[in-house]
Amino acid sequence: MLEKVNYAEIVHRCFRCGYCKFPSDYSEINCPSYAKYRFETYFSGGRMWLIRAWMNNEIEWSEHLGEIMYSCSTCRNCVEHCVFKFNEQLVDVFIAARSDMVERGLVPKKVGEFFNNLAKFGNPWGYAAKRLEWVGRDYANNEFLLHAGCVAAYDDRAKKSLKALLELLDVAGVDYGVFSDEICEGNEAVIMGEFGLFEQLMEQNRKRFEERGVKKVLTPDPHAFNAFRNYYGLDVVHHTQLLWNLVNDGELKVGKVEGKLTYHDPCFLGRWNGVYKEPRKLLSRIGSFYEMPRNRKDSFCCGGGSGNFYTDYLGGKDSPARMRVKEAAETAEILVTSCPVCLMMLDNAVSDEGLELDVRDISEVVLEALKS
């Protein structure tokens, strides 16, 4: 379980020097919320100082402060680039401060809605349950429980990518099943500081897993991957890892896809969990792969993490997602990612920008390569 850090011992150590705004080469602003808002309040250093000010009663909580706190997508670019020794704890500080705010009932409106829906319906939008009934393959002691995560379960675009994954798993003969009544694993709840709600969701999920004998989880959602791996302590694989093994072992016989490919690292897969190689190996195997200038540890977040795909604090014309697809369009014709949240954010951004860029999940391109 995530330890709640004692941020009172850390916040005053931030110098507000701004190294954390950048990628390694300082070429662009790489903190998504600072890139959008540009006020000094919206980057890691600004947040550290504001948390300290709030803690010392120099400023009061306000909806605006709440929005500043929650527009951090917890992408961990600052963790990667802060030059101080407490860098590893930066995002933990934000989470802990949010948690203290939540405990006092201090959450901005949209975040409150998010939590309420999650508590009542097991998903952020308040949609009906039985979200994976359409898969028609209930878990029955299979090798893997396939956990889709909220976005792949409900968002139309992400759902399509989930279907591609299911098709690939069938072709490769992978033994999996789903919970048709899957509920959120709670990654966003804990990251957004609702520890109580997270405990509740984790307990519910654990109970179901135990009752139904789940041993291994397969998920296309890096957010779920993070929670299962780091908070539940489960044996979990991300679909990029499984797909690479299947392709590499010859279980999936792939050809080539047309067009230049590039890859957007989802923060919860890359910076949070260090999975960088598998997607690149896969894409290099099936097509012409080009890196965007900001990649791997320097990747630029799509702006969807930490509930922002719902709260939309990072939306609008200067959104990180729009910046990211422009960068992708200068690099390649097909922007591949491996996260339902990124897929949804980037796909919408391409429409908003009117770009000729194809945004796909990695399972969709692998499926195309399989059929080619």
Angle at alpha carbon of residue 176, lines to 309 and 276, rounded to 5°: 50
Closest CA to 344 of 159, 218, 139: 159
Q: 261 - beta bridge partners?
A: 289, 334
Which of ligand SF4, other proteins, none binds 74 (CB below 5-8 Å, type-dependent)? ligand SF4
Which of ligand SF4, other proteins, none binds 50 (CB below 5-8 Å, type-dependent)? other proteins
Closest CA to 33 of 300, 310, 335, 355: 300
Contact 161, 344 (CB under 8 A): no
Which of other proteins, ligand SF4, none binds 73 (CB below 5-8 Å, type-dependent)? ligand SF4
Q: Does 65 bind other proteins (CB under 8 A)?
A: yes
Output phi, psi for 239, to 5 deg: -65, -25
Residues that bind ligand SF4 (CB under 6 A): 14-20, 31-33, 43-45, 47-48, 72-78, 82-84, 90-91
Per CB under 8 A, which region of 79-87, 117-125, 128-136, 204-212 contacts other proteins?
79-87
Q: Measured from the CB of residue 23, what is the shortest distance to other proteins in angstroms?
A: 9
Task: Rank residues 100 and 358 by Cβ distance to other proteins and give the closer one.
Answer: 100
Outline where DSSP puts E strands in 30-118. none
Q: Measured from the CB of residue 55, what is the shortest distance to other proteins in angstroms?
A: 10
Q: Measured from the CB of residue 208, what is the shortest distance to ligand SF4 in angstroms?
A: 31
Closest CA to 268 of 217, 323, 307, 235: 307
Q: Measured from the CB of residue 15, what is the shortest distance to other proteins in angstroms?
A: 4
Rounded Cα distance between 224 and 236, Å, is 9
Q: Which H helix or E strand runs over 246? A: helix 239-248
Task: Rank residues 68 and 345 by Cβ distance to other proteins and give the closer one.
Answer: 68
Rounded Cα distance between 217 and 233, Å, is 11
Q: Measured from the CB of residue 297, what is the shortest distance to other proteins in angstroms?
A: 15
* Exposure string for 316-342, b = 16+ CB within 10 A, e = fewer: eeebbbbbbbebbbebbbbbbbbbbbb
Site for other proteins, residues 12 to 41, rule: CB under 8 A = 12-19, 21-22, 25-28, 37-41
Per CB under 8 A, which region of 49-57, 301-309, 340-348, 364-372 contacts other proteins?
49-57
* Lookup: tokens for 3: 């330890």
Across the beta sheet with 144-146, the strand order is 176-177, 144-146, 216-219, 235-238
Task: Rank residues 47 and 110 by Cβ distance to other proteins and give the closer one.
Answer: 47
Site for other proteins, residues 276 to 335, rule: CB under 8 A = 316, 318
Q: Return the SS3 of 144.
A: strand
Q: Measured from the CB of residue 106, what is the shortest distance to ligand SF4 in angstroms?
A: 19
* Lookup: tokens for 76: 């961990």
Task: Give the residue carrying structure tokens 């399972």.
Answer: 363
Q: Measured from the CB of residue 333, what is the shortest distance to other proteins in angstroms?
A: 22
Which of ligand SF4, other proteins, none binds 78 (CB below 5-8 Å, type-dependent)? ligand SF4
Per CB under 8 A, which region of 82-90, 112-120, 180-188, 197-205 contacts other proteins?
82-90
Which of ligand SF4, other proteins, none binds 26 (CB below 5-8 Å, type-dependent)? other proteins
Task: Rank residues 47 and 324 by Cβ distance to ligand SF4 and give the closer one.
Answer: 47
Task: Rank residues 14 and 164 by Cβ distance to ligand SF4 and give the closer one.
Answer: 14
* Lookup: tokens for 307: 């509930």
- Which residue sits closest to ligand SF4, CB atoms considered? 45
Rounded Cα distance between 185 and 218, Å, is 13
* Lookup: tokens for 8: 């009172």
Point out which residues bind other proteins (CB under 8 A). Answer: 12-19, 21-22, 25-28, 37-41, 46, 49-50, 53, 58-60, 62, 64-65, 68, 83-85, 316, 318
